[in-house]
Amino acid sequence: MSNINRKQAFNFLKKSIENFNFEQKAENCANEAQTKKFLIDPFFMLLNFGHEALIPEFEADFGERVSNKVDYAIKLNRKDFIIIECKKLTSKLTDKEAGQLSGYFQNAKNSKIAILTNGKEYRFYSDVALTNTMDSKPFFVFDIENYTNDDIEGLLDFDARIIDVSNIITKAQESVFIDDFENTFFKEMISPSTQFLKLIHKNMIFKSKFNEERMKGLMNSSLFKSLTEKIIIHETKTNSKSAGIITTDDEIQAYHTVRTLLIQNKKIPNDRITYRDQRGTFNIMIDDNQRKIICQLKFTDSGKKISIGLNDYPLDSIDDILSFKNELNDRAVSLLD
């Protein structure tokens, strides 16, 4: 939709948020109107929505019922708009407020994105699970006082110059699917169903009488850790064979350098730092999770480079990684649960 350089836009947005001076603005926010004026309106201006883009007291038609008005709507084009429900700064965003927004969302047929905010926290909702019914959980949350580079990258999707509703919904669907899959799988691991255990038992080579309690007793953290290690080894071998990937001594040395720097921080458990070698990049991550990449290494014949977040740094030697200790620590801590 735009020729805007995303990296430059990211850097500008990050700097703007850092200079937002939230505490000073918050001193003037005793009620909802003041919260809108001093916090919410300026926040959307950071995303390049001018005052004229925020339509106040937008009506959500409830048919025969009395017309209800949502605080703001942002019209993106002829058919798409975002509805925004505002609360005063001291309000805690709860399911009750989300439920009120859900009612507006259901009757605002051309809205695929809804935002609930108190000026500090911004919760972004859609209707991924059921069309025209706002999801119970936001697909993205931004806290202007507590954010990471990844959060700013996510917020950048809502920049007026860049915003693409279909792209945002696709990302929302992926996020909701992954979270639901992880939560469902987690529940199955800590409290396995009979059906799940029978499936495992059926495929075991060692044939014995099905003993549900015995199998449940084996489902513990030691088993999961062992399985995780086997999966990592399997994926490494599979990737190497299928894609011609060769993990070099320099990459392993760099991994151990990064790991040594990180484990000096007591907040970072050493067993959660992993790596995955892929075509063109060597990723060091948290929990072997591709969504939690601490840094990427790109070692080629023409040179070496380390990427931390959106920042790229050239390396003359592997020892140069030592100079990025603070950046690596900040990045790793921000990715921990």
Closest CA to 42 of 70, 34, 165, 112: 34
CB-CB contact of 169 with 160 (8 Å) = no
**Tokens found for residue 1:** 């939709």
User: Do the domain assignments include residue 230?
Assistant: no
Q: What is the CATH number of the domain that holds 123?
A: 3.90.1570
pLDDT at 114 over 70: yes
pLDDT band, residue 113 (cuts 50/70/90):
very high
Number of independent structural domains in the chain = 3
User: Do the domain assignments include residue 41?
Assistant: yes
Instruction: State whether 159 and 183 are in the same domain.
Output: no
10 Å CB burial of residue 112 (0-12, 13-18, 19+) is: buried
Instruction: State whether 324 and 212 are in the same domain.
Output: no
Q: What is the DSSP string of 214-226?
A: HHHHH-SHHHHHH
Closest CA to 71 of 117, 26, 106: 117
Instruction: State whether 205 and 59 are in the same domain.
Output: no
pLDDT at 145 over 70: yes
State mean pLDDT over 205-219: 90
pLDDT band, residue 247 (cuts 50/70/90):
confident
pLDDT of residue 240: 56
Phi and psi torsions of 172, nearest 5°:
-65, -45
pLDDT of residue 295: 94
User: Do the domain assignments include residue 215?
Assistant: yes
pLDDT of residue 246: 72
Instruction: State whether 159 and 189 are in the same domain.
Output: no
Instruction: State whether 246 and 142 are in the same domain.
Output: no
pLDDT band, residue 157 (cuts 50/70/90):
very high
Contacts (Cβ under 8 Å, ≥6 apart) of 50: none
Alpha helix (H) residue ranges in the chain: 6-18, 22-26, 32-35, 41-46, 95-107, 149-156, 165-190, 194-203, 212-218, 221-243, 249-262, 325-335
Instruction: State whether 25 and 109 are in the same domain.
Output: yes
Burial 76-106 (b: 16+ CB within 10 A, else e): beeebbbbbbbbbbebebeeebbeebbebbb
d(CA 63, CA 83): 18
pTM of the model: 0.65
User: Do the domain assignments include residue 231?
Assistant: no
Residue 255 CB: number of other CB atoms within 10 A? 22
Mean per-residue pLDDT over the chain, rounded: 87
Instruction: State whether 151 and 181 are in the same domain.
Output: no
CB-CB contact of 72 with 55 (8 Å) = yes
pLDDT of residue 244: 57
pLDDT band, residue 100 (cuts 50/70/90):
confident
* Residue-number span of the structural domain to which 192 is assigned: 177-219
- What percentage of residues in the chain have a pLDDT greater than 70? 93
User: Do the domain assignments include residue 232?
Assistant: no
* Model pLDDT for residues 249-258, shown as the tens digit of each residue: 889 999 999 9
CB-CB contact of 154 with 310 (8 Å) = no
User: Do the domain assignments include residue 30?
Assistant: yes
Instruction: State whether 290 and 189 are in the same domain.
Output: no
User: Do the domain assignments include residue 226?
Assistant: no
**Tokens found for residue 265:** 């921080």
State mean pLDDT over 10-30: 93
Instruction: State whether 142 and 210 are in the same domain.
Output: no
pLDDT band, residue 1 (cuts 50/70/90):
very low
- What percentage of residues in the chain have a pLDDT greater than 90? 47
State mean pLDDT over 271-282: 85
Q: Tell me whether strands 293-300 and 303-308 are parallel, antiparallel or unpaired.
A: antiparallel
User: Do the domain assignments include residue 255?
Assistant: yes
d(CA 111, CA 114): 7
d(CA 103, CA 337): 32
Instruction: State whether 257 and 213 are in the same domain.
Output: no
Instruction: State whether 330 and 202 are in the same domain.
Output: no
Give the CA-trace dihedral at 242, 178, 309, 262, to 10 degrees.
-80
Instruction: State whether 295 and 256 are in the same domain.
Output: yes
* Model pLDDT for residues 27-86, shown as the tens digit of each residue: 999 999 999 999 999 999 999 998 888 889 887 654 455 457 889 999 887 778 899 999
Closest CA to 318 of 261, 241, 250, 222: 250
Alpha helix (H) residue ranges in 161-273: 165-190, 194-203, 212-218, 221-243, 249-262
